[in-house]
Each structure stands twice: as C-alpha cells, then as structure tokens.
Structure 1
Amino acid sequence: MAEKIHTKFMRFDDKGFYSKPYNSDWEYDRLNHHCHILPFINYEVKSLDERDIIVEECDLISPEINDEQWSGCFAFLNTFDERLFENAMHFRRNHKKNIAYLLSDLDEIVWVRNSTHKGRLSTYVSKYSQYWEEHNQTTESYITGHGELYWVKMKLGLALKRIELGLHDLGWSPEWLTEVFLTKDQVNKLKEVPSRKFFKLFR
C-alpha cells in the first residue's frame, strides 16, 4: 500500500477553494460564471517522455454548461511564480492567497495541461482519430485551437516530477506547468490550514 503524503495546492480567490461546473452560465453563478472552451482528453500520461500520442475523437470531452459531473476547482500544484501576476494572473492579483493540503498517495490522478515540461510547443497528445463507417476508414487529425492547453490525466507523483523538470529547463514555472484542475471529490478532501507552523512541516 502506497504511503500517503500531504501535497500542497494554492489558489488565489477571495472565496478560497470551492467546486463549480467547469462551464457555467449567468444563472448558475452571477458573479463568477465562465465558459471554458479547452476540452479534457481522456488519456493518462504515464511517462514524461511520451510525445505525439493519438487518441480517439470520443476521448476529447467538452463539458456541457452547468454539468455538475465536471465540477471542480483550478489550483496550482506545490508552487506558484509571482511573475504570473504581471500577465496571466493579473485579474487575481489582489485576491486572497489560499493554501490547502491533500492527504493522498502519489498515484492520485490529477488533470494537468497537455504540455510537456519542455514547453507549450511540445505536447503529450497531438492527434485524434475518427472512424468513418460509411467508408470503413479511419483518419487522423491534429488537435488545433491551443491543444497544448487541453487537460490530460497524470498521477500526482509524475505531475510533481514534471514541474521539477520544467523549472530546471525553463528557469521558472509558467501557469500551464503548475496549474491543475481538481475534481469535486478532491476539493472536498482538501484541508485548508491557516497555521504557518503547519506550512513549515509540509513544504
């Protein structure tokens, strides 16, 4: 049985860590509704050396508006680069910084961006296949529209290693490297701890 560890997550939001549908409309949340166009890829990356994987078209999942089955929370895994407040995270600059810990083993599956630690031009999954029954033929197409920012599955231990290698190769941690999407079940298991003494124990 794998040993459980405390893994740190960070989120910049005055409301803290909370779950909501990946896509939501004005009626669901008047103050914080979003429509995210970047799909999830039903594929688990099992090696950081994987490149240009081909999946089936049905593995590309775009959650419907207000779909509770795709509820979760954006967060940063283990580290955050303050330089992000100058661009990608500027809209969260004055929000509260929240830190929470997930007690789990390193085999816990999390959603990460479809970019390798080498950079956004290097992706794990790059194509999808389509079967055309009327022609009894399968075709392959490249994933377009920021496919490097789609979500893929990865074990927590591998995701931490990806960040470590990315920091080494890039010299900093861009948003796509450390951002994860936690499921509703994972958010419910998070333990927010205000005590700085606790932070020292697990960072």
Structure 2
Amino acid sequence: MQFVKMIRFHRNGFTSGSPSKQMEKDPVFLNRVVHNLFHTGQAIFTTEIISPKEEDRDWYGCLCYLEENAMQTSGTRTIGFLPRESNIWVRNISHVGDGTPYYNRSLHPLLEYESGDGGNVMTDSWVKMSVEDALERTRLWKEKNVHLPDWVTECYLTERQVKRLIYPSTNETVMEFWLSKN
C-alpha cells in the first residue's frame, strides 16, 4: 500500500471538528467524484448539494494540505500519511485557471430543464476527488503557473479519514524534513 503526505498547520494537529468551525464560512459539499480533470461547467442535482449542520458528526473533520503547501511558513506543522487510493474533498476549482469550477450549476431532479441562467452553485464548494487526480491537478497547475495557491493542495479530511492516518515516528519526521530541504 502506498501513502501520501498530509500536512496540517494547527497547534492540536489533526483534530476533528465541525466543518463550519474549521472553515471561514459554512461549507457546501457537492456529493460527486471528479473523474475528468478537464471536464468543467457541469450540472449537479440539488439533492447532491450538502450543507452540513454543526451538530452533524458525520461531517466532522479538518482542513489540511496534500503533499505540499507553499503559503504556510509558520505555525505548528503536523504530518500524517493517508492511503493513496483514498478519495478526499477538494475545492470545486479546476487547474485551468480563472476559478473555473467543475460544477457550476444545479438542476432540480424532477425538472427537465435548468432553472435560472446557470452558474448558480456556490463558488466556495467542495467535491470528491481521488488522491491520484488531486496530485495530477497540482502537477497540471504547476506546469503553467509559478505561484501555488492554497486551494490547489487544500483538502478536507473527514474524521473517519483522520483516524486512518499513519503518523511518522520522530526519526521519520526528521528524515522527511531533511529530504524536503535537499
């Protein structure tokens, strides 16, 4: 089994809490898995849009970064390793730039037409993606851009995923630090 590095900047490490306490505003999760990194502007049924309530423990988790983060330079850094075959929640933004989302409009499941003028899905939403695709999205972004924004590697792990993390020993942490500097 292969693992990927998850990075968390928080004094309490990978502690889980309600999504609304972890994020700047109440999060919206789109219950879809992105399979094609180039397929943007898709529609989603309104029944697949989830806005978890604060007391809903099924959505407890934490924000972290996949493999790297160029923005954070200070604070307590904790490393955990997640199985590479996992699906994670990532920002609903593709690598093509200009904030182009994978899903940008919703459909009511009982109507055969789209209501409104499209583009009605909240822009600050999250979609599921395989770790492999999330790493590829980062690679594609870095191919055309010098600056690596937070959202490219940011992900949300649920409490269930946090419990699956493997934490390195002190020697492994030192080795990982040394390798990242050389």
TM bucket (normalised to shorter chain) is: 0.7 to 0.9
Letter in 1 for 2:107: S
SS at match of 1:159: helix
Whole-angstrom distance in 2 between the partners of 1:158 and 1:201: 27
1:113 aligns with 2:113: no
Report the TM-score when normalising by structure 1: 0.77
Structure 2 residue identity aligned to 1:19 = S
1:119-198 aligned within 5 A = 119-130=97-108, 138-140=113-115, 141-145=118-122, 147=123, 149-193=124-168, 194-195=170-171, 196-198=173-175
Alpha-carbon spacing, 1:187–1:169, altered in 2? closer, same or farther (3 Å)? same
> Structure 2 residue aligned with 1:11, among 8, 18, 34?
8
Provide the residue aligned with 1:97 in structure 2: 77
Q: Distance in 1 between matches of 2:58 and 2:98?
A: 28
Instruction: Please list every run of 5 or more consecutive structure 2 residues that lacks an aligned counterpart in the other structure.
Output: none
AA matched with 1:45: V
State the distance in 1 between where 2:74 and 2:131 align.
29
CA distance in 1, matches of 2:154, 2:76: 17
Matched positions, count: 176
Alignment gaps of 5+ in structure 1: 25-32, 86-92
Q: How does 1:22-101 map to 2 (within 5 A)?
A: 22-24=19-21, 36-81=25-70, 84-85=71-72, 94-101=74-81
Note closer, same or farther for the CA distance 1:202–1:64 as it changes in structure 2 (3 Å cut).
Answer: farther
Deviations 1:86-107 (A, max 9, x none): xxxxxxx6421111112x243x
Aligned pair in 2 of structure 1 residues 190, 201: CA closer, same or farther (>3 Å)? farther
* Inter-partner Cα distance in structure 1 for 2:131 and 2:178: 20
Distance 1:75 1:35 in 2: 14
What is the aligned-residue RMSD (CA, Å)? 2.4
Task: Extract structure 1 runs of 4+ deviating beyond 6 A.
Answer: 200-203
For 2:145 and 2:52, locate their aligned partners in 1 and report how far apart those are by CA, in whole Å: 32
Contact 2:31/2:48 (8 A) holds in 1: yes
Instruction: Give per-residue Cα distances to partners, 1:13-39, cap 9 Å, x unaligned.
Output: 111111112125xxxxxxxx7663230
